Amino acid sequence: MNTSVSGNPAKSLRQLPSVDAVLKQATALVKEYGHDLVTVKIQLLLGSRRESMLAGNESEADSTTITLEILNQLRLALEQDSQSSLMPVFNLTGTILHTNLGRAVLPRCALDAVAAAASDSVNLEYDLQNGERGERDSHFESLVCELTGAEAATAVNNNAAAVLLLLNTLALGKEVPVSRGELVEIGGSFRIPEIMERSDCTLVEVGATNRTHLKDYQKAINDNTALLLKVHTSNYRIEGFTAEVAEAELAALASKNKIPFVMDMGSGCLVDLAQYGLPSEPTAAQAIATGADLITFSGDKLLGGPQCGIIAGKKVLIDEIRNNPLKRALRLDKMTIAALVAVLNLYRNPSSLLQELPAMRQLTRSLDDVHAQAERLCSPMQAALGMGYEVVIEATDSQIGSGALPVKSIPSAALVISPLCGKDKALRDLEQAFRRLPKPVIGRIHRGAYWLDFRCLEPVAEQNFIEQLGSLERIPK
């Protein structure tokens, strides 16, 4: 930074201000960040400035100049420190419910409900009618029952926790037969065999990877069988010579043996997506109607709500699950409950659901609409990038994500950007430049180009997206 270095470090050192001298001029910062934090930062900055001077790396400057420089560095350091590493991004990956990007975006009504619950005391476990202790689950239980046809419901931190709690309650020390075709791994850390081990129940693998028959389950059932579990193979499909046992048959088999039939549904689909022209996914109500005694599903996948895991079904079983001490360790907080109730309420009025719920809005957004947006963005993008890049509109396929409907996709439109030099490094630099924007843009590199799928760019955010393209200055034009 400095071209001429000091010839006399000792003389320069005398120009270094004291901690108190800097502190006196930092009153606004002290007010904002507190005396102790600011003092520590000043000590650090003065310390490294001293080292740099002793090493002869600083040009001569008077005390006033040094103090101003230190004050500037101080403000930047404090600002950087107080910035959360968790921040909003543009999800242009083409995956709507992206686990790494926080899955479902909450609707306005849920945000308001969260703010209200967070900023005040609430009747979380207090029965206002009778003035006595209430039940945390009571706020959403009747809504879940109404929307699924279940008798009772509870909820925990996520669906993985729901499966864990369910098995730990109903299958502790017992056996659970599961089809070899359903021993799924989701997102690297949730594996059915491992969850079963941690739940202290024994997995009994039945059938083959591609084919499992009713008689395989029949043979596996003995006096120590706790329940039958069907796991929705939500992130893959086994195709070809395949067979699985229909839910109704499994329900009947379980009932004959007086054990519960449980379905881990993965995505919490509450409405028939086919009515909106989307690939259909089994709904929670269908599962209950088919004879599932209990179902579990995520709150932040297709349901479009906050992260949580819902368990719904027979009241006797739900009561047992609620009494498991682990429920206390996995329970929902008031903000999640507030958001969940707000989102579930939207499902009571399906006609406004598509407009109000971001997940549904993004899923059902028409190709024409996304394409028109890509057209609007094409020339601002070209202008921001300069002539070193080719920008074209291409048809693409959005994924629903989070394991829902793995092999089905939704037609979408993308801007596809290619560095004309054709170099791999240029492509990676471009991707990085987008990631370093004030509101980072997350796209994907595909077939030697950078793809931005606009399905999840809400029209209200479009202006902000265009404006910050001006900050894309680190890439060669």
CA 204/CA 200 separation, integer angstroms: 13
Question: In this chain, which stretch among 156-164, 218-226, 321-329, 372-380 interacts with ligand PLP, using CB under 6 A?
Answer: 156-164
**Total residues in contact with ligand PLP, by rule CB under 6 A:** 16
Amino acid symbol at 270? L
98 in contact with ligand PLP (CB under 6 A): no
**By rule CB under 6 A, what string of x and - marks binding of each residue 159-198 to ligand PLP?**
xx--x--------------------x-x---x--------
- Looking at the Cβ atoms of 5 and 183, the one nearer to ligand PLP is 183
- Looking at the Cβ atoms of 179 and 234, the one nearer to ligand PLP is 234
Q: Tell me which residues in 344-403 interact with ligand PLP (CB under 6 A).
A: 402-403
- Full strand arrangement of the beta sheet holding 410-419: 389-398, 410-419, 449-453, 444-446
- CB-side neighbour CA atoms (13 Å) of 330: 26
Supply the minimum distance, in Å, between the C-beta of residue 162 and ligand PLP.
8
Supply the minimum distance, in Å, between the C-beta of residue 266 and ligand PLP.
2
266 in contact with ligand PLP (CB under 6 A): yes
83 to each of 32, 87, 472, 477, how far by Cα in Å? 14, 9, 21, 30
Supply the minimum distance, in Å, between the C-beta of residue 231 and ligand PLP.
5
Supply the minimum distance, in Å, between the C-beta of residue 307 and ligand PLP.
7
- Looking at the Cβ atoms of 22 and 170, the one nearer to ligand PLP is 170
| ∠ CA 136-141-146, rounded to 5° | 165
Supply the minimum distance, in Å, between the C-beta of residue 233 and ligand PLP.
7
- Looking at the Cβ atoms of 91 and 402, the one nearer to ligand PLP is 402
CB distance 200 to 172 below 8 Å? yes
The token pair that represents 364 in the structure block:
């059902």
The token pair that represents 269 in the structure block:
């689909």
336 in contact with ligand PLP (CB under 6 A): no
- Looking at the Cβ atoms of 12 and 158, the one nearer to ligand PLP is 158
305 in contact with ligand PLP (CB under 6 A): no
Supply the minimum distance, in Å, between the C-beta of residue 182 and ligand PLP.
9
- Looking at the Cβ atoms of 253 and 269, the one nearer to ligand PLP is 269
- Looking at the Cβ atoms of 12 and 402, the one nearer to ligand PLP is 402
CA 414/CA 417 separation, integer angstroms: 9
Q: What is the DSSP letter of 331?
A: B
- Looking at the Cβ atoms of 12 and 298, the one nearer to ligand PLP is 298
Q: Tell me which residues in 308-327 interact with ligand PLP (CB under 6 A).
A: 309
138: left (phi over 0), alpha (psi -120 to 50) or beta: alpha
What sections of 331-423 are H helices per DSSP? Answer: 334-346, 350-356, 358-364, 367-385
The token pair that represents 80 in the structure block:
């950087």
CB distance 473 to 434 below 8 Å? no
Q: Tell me which residues in 401-440 interact with ligand PLP (CB under 6 A).
A: 402-403
232 in contact with ligand PLP (CB under 6 A): yes
- Looking at the Cβ atoms of 94 and 268, the one nearer to ligand PLP is 268
Nearest to 353 by CA among 403, 282, 263, 278: 278
Question: In this chain, which stretch among 21-29, 154-162, 236-244, 414-422 interacts with ligand PLP, using CB under 6 A?
Answer: 154-162
Supply the minimum distance, in Å, between the C-beta of residue 301 and ligand PLP.
6
The token pair that represents 194 in the structure block:
């491992």
Residue nearest to ligand PLP (CB): 266
Question: In this chain, which stretch among 81-89, 158-166, 425-433, 437-445 interacts with ligand PLP, using CB under 6 A?
Answer: 158-166
Supply the minimum distance, in Å, between the C-beta of residue 97 and ligand PLP.
10
Supply the minimum distance, in Å, between the C-beta of residue 104 and ligand PLP.
11
CB distance 166 to 160 below 8 Å? no
- Looking at the Cβ atoms of 158 and 199, the one nearer to ligand PLP is 158
CB distance 233 to 181 below 8 Å? yes
Q: Which residue has the tokens 């790494």?
A: 100
Question: In this chain, which stretch among 40-48, 213-221, 226-234, 236-244 interacts with ligand PLP, using CB under 6 A?
Answer: 226-234
Which H or E run contains 71? helix 63-82
Supply the minimum distance, in Å, between the C-beta of residue 317 and ligand PLP.
18
Q: Which residue pairs from 253-257 have beta carbons closer than 8 angstroms and sit at least 24 positions apart in sequence? A: 253/214, 253/217, 253/218, 253/221, 253/228, 254/227, 254/228, 254/293, 255/291, 257/221, 257/225
CB distance 354 to 104 below 8 Å? no
Sites of contact with ligand PLP (CB under 6 A): 158-160, 163, 184, 186, 190, 231-232, 234, 264, 266, 298, 309, 402-403
